[in-house]
Structure formats: structure tokens, C-alpha cells
Amino acid sequence: MHWYQKLNQYFPVEEMKSQKHMETLLRERSDIYHKDESPLHVLMYAEFDYFVFIDYLFVSKDARGQGLGHKLIEKLKSKGKPIILEVEPVNYKDSDTEKRLKFYKREGFEHAQSIGYRRRSLATKEVNEMEILYWAPNNESEDVIYDAMKKTYESIHTYKDKQIYGENYQPVEEVLTFEATGAKADVLKDV
């Protein structure tokens, strides 16, 4: 099965970039956007000077529980940069959301308390809220993580969006918020 089909079957439509978008990033932004795949996994990520963003991580059901996800995360951690990613909030009707959070918690990721993420999907037109998780090898602050998310949004998520989708995603100021008080509950502690 093609790598995009694997991702498309696993991730909700509102979270998926189009195949054209991802192939354009791989072709035109190969300096930062990368694909690591095998028959058992697909890892799409962007590596910048001071951080790594995991766009998609898929591990086949046949390989789950065998340490493949851990090995892929360790490979990214070996770069010595903060790693950030977006996950959908836990939905107790969908056990995969809870399993994902537990996996990232085991891998040492923290829930960003002060960063909010709400974006209207161009596919469904619905506003979706995402949680930001991060791993900070040098105790980087959430200010650094927030700046990294803004860079990701502007460099990856909205790259050629008008050309590819026929319309623009919302500007970063409407999608990402930063509240220094960190009023959100710590989702990972309860999982």
C-alpha cells in the first residue's frame, strides 16, 4: 500500500494534508520536510535548525508493541532538538486517541499547558482543536515551543495552501494562542 494511503486510513480527514501538499513539501522543501518509511511504518517530519516537528507517525497494527515507534522517536531524539507534534484530544469513544497519548507520555513528551491550537479544516469546514505535545531535551520553555509551532504552521501547514486547496488556511494568529498562565488541565497526567 502507498504511504499516503496508510496515513489517510489512519488519521482523521480533518488532520490530513492532501497527497499533493505532502508531495509538494517533499519535493520543494526537501531541505526541511522528510519521509521515513518501511512496510511497517510511515514517519513524516520537518527538521528545522532548533527543533523537529512530527507531522505524522503511523505504525502498522502488525508492528505495534514491538518497539518500532520507540525506535523512530529515539532516532529523532538523537538530534538533540526539541520535538513537537499535534494530537487530537482524548476521545474515550476512540481508543486510539488514548493509546497515542499514553505512547507519547512513555516517550517523555509533555502537554503544552499554555499553547492553544484551533484550526478550521479546509476539508470538513469544522473547527478542530488539537493538543500540542513536546519533548524538550534542554528544558526549553513553552515560549520556544510556541515559536516552533508558529514556524511549523507558516512553513509546513500553510505551504502553498491557496495553490493546492484553492483557499488559504487561517492566519497563524487565529490558530495558535499562548497563555503564560497555562490554565489548561494536564491531559497526560490523567492518561
Q: pLDDT at residue 12 above 80?
A: yes
pLDDT of residue 148: 98
CA 89 – CA 100 distance, rounded (Å) = 10
- What average pLDDT score do residues 155-180 get? 96
User: In CATH, which of 3.40.630.30, 3.20.20.80, 3.40.1180.10, 3.40.50.1100 is domain 3-190?
Assistant: 3.40.630.30
HSE on the CB side for 99, CA within 13 Å?
Answer: 10
Name which residue leads in pLDDT, 100 or 29. Answer: 29
Which range has the worst mean pLDDT, 21-25, 94-98, 120-124, 155-159? 94-98
What is the residue extent of each domain of the chain? 3-190
Of 63-67, 78-82, 135-139, 187-191, the poorest mean pLDDT is in 187-191
Query: Is 191 a residue whose pLDDT tops 50?
Result: no
DSSP H/E element including 44: strand 41-47
Q: How far is CA 179 from CA 38, 113, 127, in A?
A: 39, 8, 20
Cell, residue 66: 514491538
> Mean pLDDT over residues 157-177, rounded?
96
pTM for the full model?
A: 0.91
- Give the confidence band of 95 by pLDDT, cuts at 50, 70, 90: low
Cα gap 162→159, rounded to integer Å: 8
- The one-character DSSP state at 119 is E
